[in-house]
């Protein structure tokens, strides 16, 4: 029975991962969230499902992730097949800001440090906490959900000077994931970063739903103004369906790559560029 741990599963993409993986009758799914009691959408989705377990864990609190890993181990007999790291700092009030949008450098520093702890250190904490369980499995797959925002060529093409804290800290996460890929390669691991594409997660954003929808509209309008391009948004269901096809097809040759949700590399190799 394949086992999956989804880190950051209370809403949006992570929640949809739980939904779709749980629908596979032969799987066991572990949803790791900061506040299980307050995860309304997740609890509703998991109601009556015996193959879904919800455990507390916060990516900025390493000890809590170790406790979550121990709880997973107790269910699976000490192993885990797939780790899907989705947790991210996407505060609707700060994520879309540019350097000049902060009141002062102190505010900028605070926002960047908060984003770095979640977006950059978070995957390091999660991978490290669950690594003993992953090593005990024959599957050994680690997927960190990335973002096209971390790609300098995208910023140039779309002429976007904002979304600075999120983009920079997701870029750090991409490099951290690549380092893990080659650290673990000789043990048979496949470690990738997976870009979900543009996903509208406003439906499960709670009190931030309207504000998030407004920011997505603003982003789309900016891109169209700068480039003439229409931004194609996906639902979480559409994106995760595509992402799971990629994950299901992972092979050793994919280790260390940044992959698109549609398949293929986000950054083509030099021979293919």
**Other Cβ atoms closer than 10 A to 59:** 25
Q: The tokens 């749980």 sit on which residue?
A: 22
Residue 82, both tokens: 């797939």
Q: The tokens 């596979």 sit on which residue?
A: 24
- Give the residue numbers marked as catalytic: 147, 166, 170
Residue 4, both tokens: 């999956």
CA distance 264 to 7: 24
DSSP track, the chain: --EEEEES-SSHHHHHHHHHHHTSTT-EEEEEES-GGG-HHHHHHHTT-TTEEEEE-BTTBHHHHHHHHHHHHHHHTS--SEEEE------TTTTT--GGGSSSHHHHHHHHHHHIIIIIHHHHHHHHHHHHHHHTSSS-EEEEE--GGG-HHHHHHHT----HHHHHHHHHHHHHHHHHHHHHGGGT-EEEEEE--SB--GGG-GGGHHHHHHHHHHHHHHHHHHH-PPP--B-HHHHHHHHHHHHHT--GGGTT-EEETTSSBSS--TTT-
- Name the nearest CA neighbour of 181 among 259, 243, 238: 259
């Amino acid at each position: 029975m394949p086992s999956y741990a989804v880190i950051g599963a209370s809403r949006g993409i992570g929640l949809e991962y739980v939904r779709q993986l749980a629908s596979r009758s032969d799987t066991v799914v572990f949803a790791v969230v900061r506040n299980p009691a307050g995860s309304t959408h997740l609890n509703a989705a998991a109601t009556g499902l015996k193959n879904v377990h919800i455990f507390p864990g916060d990516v900025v609190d390493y000890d809590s992730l170790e406790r979550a890993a121990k709880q997973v181990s107790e269910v699976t007999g000490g192993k885990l097949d797939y780790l899907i790291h989705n947790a991210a700092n996407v505060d609707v009030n700060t994520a879309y800001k540019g350097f000049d949008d902060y009141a002062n450098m102190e505010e900028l520093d605070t926002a960047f440090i908060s984003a770095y702890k979640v977006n950059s250190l978070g995957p390091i904490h999660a991978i490290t906490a669950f690594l003993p369980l992953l090593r005990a499995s024959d599957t050994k797959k680690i997927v960190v959900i990335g973002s096209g925002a971390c790609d300098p060529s995208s910023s140039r093409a779309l002429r976007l000077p904002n979304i600075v804290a999120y983009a920079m800290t997701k870029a750090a996460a991409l490099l951290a994931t690549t380092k893990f890929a080659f650290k673990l390669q000789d043990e048979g691991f496949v470690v990738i970063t997976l870009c979900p594409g543009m996903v509208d997660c406003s439906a499960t954003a709670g009190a931030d739903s309207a504000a998030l929808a407004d920011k997505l509209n603003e982003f789309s309008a900016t891109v169209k103004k700068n480039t003439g391009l229409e931004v194609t948004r996906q639902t979480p269901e559409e994106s995760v369906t595509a992402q799971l096809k990629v994950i299901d097809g992972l092979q050793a040759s994919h280790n260390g790559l940044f992959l698109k949700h549609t398949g293929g590399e986000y950054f083509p190799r030099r021979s293919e560029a």
